[in-house]
Every structure is written in structure tokens, then in C-alpha cells.
A and B are shown apart, each in its own frame.
Chain A
Amino acid sequence: MKRRNFLALAAAGSQALFAAEGDIPLHPTDLKFPALDFEPPNPADYRHELPGGAVGYLVEDHQLPLVSVSLIVRTGAYLVAPEHTGLASMTGSQMRSGGTKSMSARDFDEESAFLATRISCGIGATSGRAAMSCLKQNLDVSLNMFFDMLRHPGFDPERLEISRARRLQGMQRRNDEISSIAGREYSRLMRGDHFSARSSTQATIESITPDLMRELQQKYFHPASFYFAVSGDFDTKEMIDRLGEYLTAQGWPAEKPEVPAVPAPTHKPTPGVYFVNKSGVNQSSVQIGQLGIARKNPDHIAVGIMNDILGGGGFVSRIMSRVRSDEGLAYSAGSSFSPGLYYPGTFTASFQSKNPTCAEASTIVLEEIAKMRETRPTDEELATSRNYAVEVFPRYFAVAGQVAGTFAADEYSGREKGYWEKYRDRVSAVSADDVQSVAQKYLKPEELAILAVGAEAEMLAGNPDKPQYGFRKLAEDGKINVIPLPDPMTMVYPEL
């Protein structure tokens, strides 16, 4: 958009910049493109209030004979007591696996498989999700099964036992992979004992009963907690009628649920260098981070651009450019600064590098974080990041399912009205000064925690060709905090 060659061409108005070969310009920035008019869809055009307090976004698309109904439910693992950690996710998966009151688990599976109808259900940290996708001519029977699952799940005890055994067996393998250890320990460093960093144990998984699952489902799977996203080959009016029939039928919980707000964490991470020793690997995983911001913070657009330039923008970002293409130290390196929906998220830079070069790559990442605060981004960096955000925008609404899904999720999480309408203008208004100012405000080098999971001795020894780098130099007083591997079944951490 604002590239140097483009401006030069406009000023000179000359053909001299074009090659002799046909009319192919010498440089791609000399290409001229027609304008692309795109206005995002308006949520109000698709929003419908449904019986029982439910809301739905319905987007027709008649290209293929498929219908998709998905649902966000106001519930989540945060509503479950710590001694039953794992109950929410088990309830979600057993709603799908355990049959219904009128249909055995096996019949439910066989029928949906024969129809090629996909039905799923799950409960995550701060929401529940259920979905059905079918061929158009199987819509009636597929909707029957979908709503039967939501209203009358069977919670077959035999299916629960099979799933429980599988989970306990998987639990034993918790300390096998450096990436899963790193994810877990980073979460604990950032969030302490907040629900979002909690792990299930043998005891909490064994505490799960069909009654506990039914209690959770009965409490929260109520039409007033439903946000539908419906897309595909259907007629909107007919679909509203059909959904209405299900939502007003018998069998939903009598009480409209009172759902408590998602609790914010109170933990403040302790800065420093942390190691988890995992011998036998030739590459280790490093995460460097601190607490970030929430989505309601109006700076989150500028923070997004800032992080894009720092490490979120793939190959054109500074961390990737230095760690990967300059030095060849990692296959993938970057950062994320996702705003939290309900409370501040985290800023995290991460990579995996061979053991001796982890300290060097960490040093580069810290240098780039510091540089982001010290100087403004170049015009080119800013233009690339802003242009991308503006130009890629239509892709967010490329297919009907995305339109319906985005709007349903926005309403569920309380995104401000008119957000997408104003989005491109807000992105375009971010200046180089804004970028530096949010970097100074939200990147806090003194608060960073560095977590390295891998072969401790080799990471500490470093690269003999580059003795200037070392983890002890990154730690205050050269202190490395060692986190032991916990017992995978009890999550008790041994004393060192």
C-alpha cells in the first residue's frame, strides 16, 4: 500500500520501471491492483432470539447439501471443585459416548455412523461446546439425536469405565514429552493454583461418577445458556421453528442456571530462570513470559500489532528473523500476546533449540523484547503488520460456518458491539509511537520468567563456540530454580 516503489511510480508516472519483457514490472510492488470492496457481515442480520432464552446466528449456504449446528454452552471446568478436577471434560465427552435414556451407547454410535452424521460434545475451561453436522436429507433424525444427547444423556457406566481407564493410563505418560511438560509447568508458573493451571490426578478421576456428571449437565445445559451457530443448506425460518420445538420440549432443567463469573487469578509469577531436567533429548523447549492484558483493554489492537512485529508475525517478525533465519537456532520461534477473555492473558515467547544453543536463542529473544521498548518500529514493519491485518480481514468471514461461529462466540464472550465494523480503522490508526508506547507499558523485562525443559547439563554447558552465552548469565546471581518432575498420578512434586 505505501511502499517506496509504488510512491516513486506515482510521482514519476514513468514506464521506465517496467521490464522489456511484456509488461511485467521489475518488482512486484510495482503491480497495480483493483480495489477490493468488502464489508463484514452484520451480526444483526443473522441473530435470532430463540425460545427458552437461547440465541442463534443462522447463516444459509446452499453450495453443498450439508447442515451444521453448533452450540456454545455457558459452563466450564472453572465451576468444578478441585477435588473433582477432570469432571467437566469427562462430562462433555461422556454426554457423547454414553448413549441417551432411550438409546444405548452402541445404538447411538451405530445410527449416527450409518447416517454419516457427526455429533460431538465437550466442556473446556470456560465454555461447553456441542456440534452436529449432517447431510441435508438426514436433518430431522440428526437433530433428534443431537437434542436427545443434550437433554437426556445416558452416562452409560461401562463407557465411563473405559474412558477412565484410558485416561489413567495416559496420565502415567505425563512426563514423557518435553512439550507437554513445558506447557504444564509454564501454566503453573504463570497461574499458580488458579483453576486454569490445575491438573487432574488419579484420585480426582476416580472420584467421577455418572451421578456427578448428570448433576453438572442438569445444572448448566439449559436453553438460556445456549448460543447457536447454524450454517449450511437450510431455510432460516424453518430452522428457527425446528429449533424452537426442541427448546420448548419437555426434559430441560426446570431452573434457569445461575452461572458464576469466571474467577480471575490472583497469582503473580516470580521472575527468574527455571529448569525442568529431562534427559535423553537433543533439543529443549524454552518459554519466556509474563502476565499480559485482557480483551476489554482498548490497547489490545496496538498490542496485537506490536507483538506481530516482535514475534507473532511469522517469518517477517523479529524473533523469527533472528533466531531462525539469521542464526539457524530453531525451526520455529515466536511470541504470542493473546488478550484474555475474562482476565489478563499472558505474553509468551517460545522456541525449541538444540540443548547447547538454548541460552543463545534465549538471549536473542530478550534482546528483541528490550529493543521493542527502546525504539519505534520501522515504517516498513508497521506497514506490513497493519496491511496484513486489514487485507486478510475478509478471510475471517470466508464461509458461512465462520460467520455464524464468530458471532455466536462474540456474544458468548461479551465482545463489544460493532467490533468488526470498526476493526480495520482501529488497526490502520495504530502509529509507530503507539507501538513503542504499548511495548513500554506492557512488556516488562524485569518480570519475565524463563522456563527451559530438557537436558539440563547440556543446556547449562552451552555452545563451546560461543562461550559468551549462558543461562547463568540470564539469571539474577546466576541462580537456576530447578522444578522436579512430579509423580504423574498424584501430581506431588518431590523435594529436591
Chain B
Amino acid sequence: MQFFLLLLALLLAAGPVAAQKVEAQVHTLDNGMKFLFVPRKGDPNVSAGWVARVGSVNERPGITGVAHLFEHMMFKGTHTIGTKDIDEDLRTIEQLDRVRAEIRAEEEALIEKHRRGLIDDPKDPKNRNDQHTARIEELNALLARQRELIVKDEFDRIYTSAGASGMNAGTTNDFTIYFINVPANKLELWYWLESDRLLNPVFREFYSERDVVHEERRLRVDSTPTGKIDEQYDAMFWQSSPYSWSVIGWPSDLEGLTREEALSFFDVYYAPNNLTAALVGDFETEEAIRLAEKYFGRLKPGKTKPEVVRTREIEQLAEKRLIAYAETRPKVRIRYHTVADAHADEPALLMLASLLNGRTGRLYKSLVLEQKVAADAGAAVNGMKFDGFFELIGVAREPNKPEDVEKALYAEVAVLADQLVGERELQKVKNQQMAGDFRRLQSKSSLMMQLLSHEALGEWENINRFSDRLQAVTPEDIRRVARKYFSEENRNVALYHPREKADAPAAGEQQ
């Protein structure tokens, strides 16, 4: 395959009618791991990545945040990478686990005392008994010992030294993705390092990495003006679904997660039959398949099949409202339960959001330019693997209040449920969709990520099907979904009122 896309028709200024297709060659190993190959000449580089079909949706109370913490641990090395003496290293890790468990028991006793009101702060060293203090000293000695055995960040160093760039990973509610760009002549290095960390991972430095994740939580959630409120809004919106907790996890769980819990997560969800890899760039497919067999063929299929996510969201019967005060602009978020990413209604919902968004979208024109009730306004669709929502967001233009914007947003939605959208207006968003498809293909790493996220939520072929489905949306489809989902009983509303000073700790803050 010389060229990765086929232009099926020429586009016309009056309205593009073409579709582009991404063609990937698929190869599945005997152990179930799937590979997608899109060779593309150009600069001497390959964008490579793989996805595990696991995210926070696979967690349960007590281990929230483990999918994401696990992602961090995948950079900590293997039996070969990151250690001077693997046997001694593994012995130290075992001892660390034991001492950690003893400390955890002491900590839980202090939490219990705090629950009974006997102490103010379970983390204050003066509340610890001698046993507790001795264990902490033992732990510090073991950590010092471990540090002597570690080859620091060797995994990163090898990639960096080879000129690989943009190495990172990400965890979502539904999947975990690992990606990098490697120079074309060093593609085998990617196969070596990635298969090795799936074959022989060692979760060293587990507890300091757990602290890093807690700092990440403070950075992203706790110490931003609305982070904790946004998190509570999610928790309010989802009643029974595991989407109700955030990917980063609850603070109490982050403090209690153990290495064993992360390991058992690995055994189930990182088995090759739960993984897909994608390569986009300058390589020969035949050679890429040979290397896939050679390196990833070593992985053994999982013993346990990943559990199906059983708990579905229950039907919402009444409107829910959250009224918050924060150091932020006056804002309203209105969120409706909708459908999963793969659902037949999703394309119409996406086109509906496009009609509302942008400088020429209905919300900007009506709320910002004409009524001058809002400073900003927009809509978003979030279709996930098992469920989804549609959200309207408006920032009030003062002296208007969030409630004023709320009313104006309902009025716009009501028009969509009442009147058919005009052909030209719909064509405009289809044109943008089409051009956007081309723009997204300009970058190899973006194409690699799109392939993997489609694969994680359903199957990679949706990258092509989805464009066709969006182009096929009719004015009737838009009106139908507006009527179906935008009901009072189905909505959740968050009102953010500005609070001028943060002298008192915000509600819900962890002390």
C-alpha cells in the first residue's frame, strides 16, 4: 500500500462531498494481541503506541486511581531494565511491601482514632506510637537500600539516548495508552522495550510514585479554582456507573493502594488479548510484522478474561442541581445523559454540538453577540465506551447571573427541538468536519492515537465509518435527538457563583 488515503471525490467550494479512508493492515498474534500498520513515507520516523482496554471504569471503591497509578508504574523498569541486581532488588521490594503493610495497619488505627474524635490529625507524627516510628525508620533504610540497586530511569534514558521523543502515556475512564516517536532506523528498540515491560515488569519505587500521583491530583484537581467542584459534579451526575469517580482517584484510595493491587490489575488487563498496537510512519509492513511476532509473540495469553463492566447507569428520574461558590467566573454547566460512543444517535449529537459551537455557532451568535448575556458559550459531547453525556456551558457576562445564561441555553435547545435546521447551516458543519478529517491526518502521531482510541472504544475501522455517518446526518436526525435527550428530568445543572476571597477552605477540602 503506497498511500494511506484514497480521495474518493474532489471537493467543491459549494460543499465538500468527499470522504477519506484510512487503510491499516491488521495482524493478530496467536496470543490475541492485535497490530495496526499504516506505513507512510516522509520524515524518517515512526509514531508507535499501544492501548490496553482498561481504565477507571474497571476499578471499584477502594482501588480508585489504580489504573492510572499503574500507568505510572509501567515506566519503572523490568527484570532487565532499571536494576543492578534483580534478585536483591526483588527481595528488597518484598521486604518493603511487608513493612509498608505494617505501617498501613498503624495508619488505619490512627484513622480510626480520628474517626472517634480522639485525635485531630492522623498524620501528625506526635500521634504515632513507638512501633509505628520504628517501622518508618526501617522503611527509610530499605528505601535507601533500594536506591543503591536501582539504575535510575533507565527506561527513559535508553529511549532518550536513541532520539525517541514525545514519550508519554495517558489513562482515561475507558483505556490506557502508551506512545512515542522513534527514529525509523531504531524501530526494533520500540519492540524490545515495549514487549519487555509487558513481559517482565517490576514495580519498583511504587510508594514514591504513589506520592507523585497524589501530587498530580493536587496539581490538577485540588489546587485549581474549580477542580474539586468539577469532580463532585461528575460524582453527582453518575449515580450508579463507575464513571462517577475520577481517573485520578479519591485521595483516601491513593493513600492506601498497594503494590499487590496494582499487580493483580496487570495480570487481568494487560494480557495480550486485551491489547492493540499501532504504528504509523516510515517502515516496511513485512518487517514490522516479523518483529511483532518475534517480540510480542513471547507474551502469554491471560489466564482470566477481563471482567465485563456490569454496573450500568440507572435512569435519572429528576433534575439534579449543584450550587457552588468558587474563585472563578460566573458559569453554568448543563449536562444530559445520552449514549455511548458507538450508539447510532452519537453522530447526530456531535453535529448538533457543532451547530452550537464556534464563532458562527448558534450559542455565540445568540448569547454573546445578540443577547449579550454570556461572555463565552459552548457545547460538548462525551461519548464513552459504556455511556455518555451532552453538555452545554455558558459563562455569564456580568452583571448577568449563571441562571440567566441557563435560561438562554434552554431557549436555544428548545429551538433545535422545535425547528428543523437549515440545509446551509448543516452543510457548514459538515464542511468543517470534512476539512477537520484531513487536518487530523497531517500528523502521524495524531493518526496513531486516533486508531488506538477508536480501537479501545470499539474497533479502529470506526475512524472511517464515523466520517460517513457524520456526513449522513439529516435535519430530522438533529431535531429527533434534541427532543429525545434534552428533557428536564434528564438534566444536571451546576451553577458556579464567583467567591471573591478564599480565606476559608473550600468545601470538601481534604485536610
Check B13 against A138 for contact (C-beta < 8 Å).
yes
Query: How far apart sit A205 and B219, CA to CA, in the bound complex (Å)?
Result: 32
Check B181 against A395 for contact (C-beta < 8 Å).
yes
Check B329 against A169 for contact (C-beta < 8 Å).
yes
Query: How far apart sit A70 and B97, CA to CA, in the bound complex (Å)?
Result: 57
Check A109 against B225 for contact (C-beta < 8 Å).
no
Check B328 against A280 for contact (C-beta < 8 Å).
no
Check B75 against A315 for contact (C-beta < 8 Å).
yes
Q: A113-B360, A141-B13 are in contact. Are A283 and B219 (CB under 8 A)?
A: yes
Check A384 against B358 for contact (C-beta < 8 Å).
no
User: Chain B residues near A97 (CB, 8 Å)?
Assistant: 359
User: Chain B residues near A38 (CB, 8 Å)?
Assistant: 44
Query: Is A8 engaged at the interface, CB distance under 8 Å to the other chain?
Result: no
Query: Is B85 engaged at the interface, CB distance under 8 Å to the other chain?
Result: no
Query: Is A10 engaged at the interface, CB distance under 8 Å to the other chain?
Result: no
Count chain B CB atoms within 10 A of each CB in A135, A278, A324 and give the residue with the most: A135
Check A325 against B205 for contact (C-beta < 8 Å).
yes
B-contacting residues, A303-341, CB 8 Å: 313-316, 321, 324-332
Check A281 against B222 for contact (C-beta < 8 Å).
yes
Select one of B75, B184, B188, B298 contacting A36, CB under 8 A.
B184
Q: A114-B424, A352-B218 are in contact. Are A394 and B327 (CB under 8 A)?
A: no
Check B184 against A31 for contact (C-beta < 8 Å).
no
Query: Is B163 engaged at the interface, CB distance under 8 Å to the other chain?
Result: yes
Q: A64-B442, A113-B360, A324-B212 are in contact. Are A162 and B372 (CB under 8 A)?
A: yes
Contact-size category for B: 35 or more
Check A331 against B219 for contact (C-beta < 8 Å).
yes
Check B43 against A114 for contact (C-beta < 8 Å).
no
User: Chain B residues near A495 (CB, 8 Å)?
Assistant: none
Check B372 against A354 for contact (C-beta < 8 Å).
no
Check B163 against A390 for contact (C-beta < 8 Å).
yes
Query: Is A176 engaged at the interface, CB distance under 8 Å to the other chain?
Result: yes
Closest Cβ–Cβ distance, residue A103 to chain B (whole Å): 14
Check B7 against A325 for contact (C-beta < 8 Å).
no
Instruction: Type the 1/0 row for B178-202, where 1 means its CB is closer than 8 Å to any CB of A.
Output: 0001011110110011001000000
Check B359 against A113 for contact (C-beta < 8 Å).
yes
Query: Is B431 engaged at the interface, CB distance under 8 Å to the other chain?
Result: yes
Q: A138-B13, A328-B210 are in contact. Are A173 and B327 (CB under 8 A)?
A: yes
User: Chain B residues near A313 (CB, 8 Å)?
Assistant: 160
Query: Chain A residue with minimal CB distance to B327?
Result: A176
User: Chain A residues near B464 (CB, 8 Å)?
Assistant: none
Query: Chain A residue with minimal CB distance to B165?
Result: A392
Check B294 against A22 for contact (C-beta < 8 Å).
yes
Query: Chain B residue with minimal CB distance to A327?
Result: B208
Query: Is B16 engaged at the interface, CB distance under 8 Å to the other chain?
Result: yes
Query: How far apart sit A37 and B438, CA to CA, in the bound complex (Å)?
Result: 30
Query: Is B215 engaged at the interface, CB distance under 8 Å to the other chain?
Result: yes
Please count the residue pairs between chain A and chain B whose beta carbons lie under 8 angstroms apart in the complex. 226
User: Chain A residues near B215 (CB, 8 Å)?
Assistant: 283, 328-331, 352-354
Query: Is A66 engaged at the interface, CB distance under 8 Å to the other chain?
Result: yes
Query: Is B397 engaged at the interface, CB distance under 8 Å to the other chain?
Result: yes
Query: Is B427 engaged at the interface, CB distance under 8 Å to the other chain?
Result: yes
Query: How far apart sit A393 and B183, CA to CA, in the bound complex (Å)?
Result: 10
A-contacting residues, B207-236, CB 8 Å: 207-216, 218-219, 222-225
Check B183 against A391 for contact (C-beta < 8 Å).
yes
Query: Is A237 engaged at the interface, CB distance under 8 Å to the other chain?
Result: no
Check A282 against B162 for contact (C-beta < 8 Å).
no
User: Chain B residues near A391 (CB, 8 Å)?
Assistant: 161-164, 183
Closest Cβ–Cβ distance, residue A449 to chain B (whole Å): 22
Select one of A158, A178, A316 contacting B160, CB under 8 A.
A316
User: Chain A residues near B442 (CB, 8 Å)?
Assistant: 64, 66, 399, 401
Query: Is B153 engaged at the interface, CB distance under 8 Å to the other chain?
Result: yes
Select one of B181, B211, B213 contacting A329, CB under 8 A.
B211
Query: Is A417 engaged at the interface, CB distance under 8 Å to the other chain?
Result: no
Check B432 against A116 for contact (C-beta < 8 Å).
yes
Query: How far apart sit A278 and B502, CA to CA, in the bound complex (Å)?
Result: 8
Check B43 against A398 for contact (C-beta < 8 Å).
yes
Check A176 against B375 for contact (C-beta < 8 Å).
no
B-contacting residues, A1-59, CB 8 Å: 1, 3, 21-22, 24-29, 31, 33-36, 38
Check B435 against A135 for contact (C-beta < 8 Å).
yes
A-contacting residues, B139-188, CB 8 Å: 147, 152-153, 156-158, 160-165, 181, 183-186, 188
Check A28 against B189 for contact (C-beta < 8 Å).
yes
Query: Is A363 engaged at the interface, CB distance under 8 Å to the other chain?
Result: no
Select one of A27, A281, A321, A465 contacting B153, CB under 8 A.
A321
Query: How far apart sit A57 and B107, CA to CA, in the bound complex (Å)?
Result: 64
Query: Chain B residue with minimal CB distance to A467?
Result: B125
Query: Is B304 engaged at the interface, CB distance under 8 Å to the other chain?
Result: no
Query: How far apart sit A1 and B375, CA to CA, in the bound complex (Å)?
Result: 55
Check B295 against A24 for contact (C-beta < 8 Å).
yes
Select one of B126, B163, B222, B428 contacting A283, CB under 8 A.
B222
Query: Chain B residue with minimal CB distance to A138?
Result: B13
Closest Cβ–Cβ distance, residue B132 to chain A (whole Å): 12
Query: How far apart sit A113 and B361, CA to CA, in the bound complex (Å)?
Result: 9
User: Chain A residues near B181 (CB, 8 Å)?
Assistant: 395
Closest Cβ–Cβ distance, residue A404 to chain B (whole Å): 13
Check A137 against B12 for contact (C-beta < 8 Å).
yes
User: Chain B residues near A31 (CB, 8 Å)?
Assistant: 186, 188-189, 192
Query: Is B434 engaged at the interface, CB distance under 8 Å to the other chain?
Result: yes
Check A114 against B163 for contact (C-beta < 8 Å).
no
Q: A279-B502, A283-B219, A384-B160 are in contact. Are A326 and B185 (CB under 8 A)?
A: no
Check B162 against A65 for contact (C-beta < 8 Å).
no
User: Chain B residues near A352 (CB, 8 Å)?
Assistant: 215, 218-219, 223
User: Chain B residues near A486 (CB, 8 Å)?
Assistant: none
Select one of A173, A177, A395 contacting B45, CB under 8 A.
A395
Query: Is B369 engaged at the interface, CB distance under 8 Å to the other chain?
Result: yes
Query: Is B380 engaged at the interface, CB distance under 8 Å to the other chain?
Result: no
Query: How far apart sit A283 and B157, CA to CA, in the bound complex (Å)?
Result: 29
Query: Chain A residue with minimal CB distance to B151?
Result: A380
Q: A279-B502, A282-B509, A331-B219 are in contact. Are A1 and B209 (CB under 8 A)?
A: no
Q: A36-B44, A109-B359, A328-B211 are in contact. Are A137 and B13 (CB under 8 A)?
A: yes
Query: Is A493 engaged at the interface, CB distance under 8 Å to the other chain?
Result: no
Query: Is B61 engaged at the interface, CB distance under 8 Å to the other chain?
Result: no
Closest Cβ–Cβ distance, residue B76 to chain A (whole Å): 8
Query: Is A464 engaged at the interface, CB distance under 8 Å to the other chain?
Result: yes
Can you add 9 more A-B contacts, CB < 8 Å, to A65-B438, A134-B435, A315-B153? A31-B192, A175-B327, A176-B225, A282-B218, A315-B160, A325-B152, A388-B161, A394-B43, A399-B42
Closest 5 CB pairs of A and B: A391-B163, A328-B211, A116-B435, A280-B502, A328-B208
Q: List 11 A-B contacts (CB under 8 A).
A: A63-B42, A137-B13, A173-B327, A279-B503, A283-B219, A316-B156, A325-B208, A327-B208, A332-B219, A388-B161, A394-B183
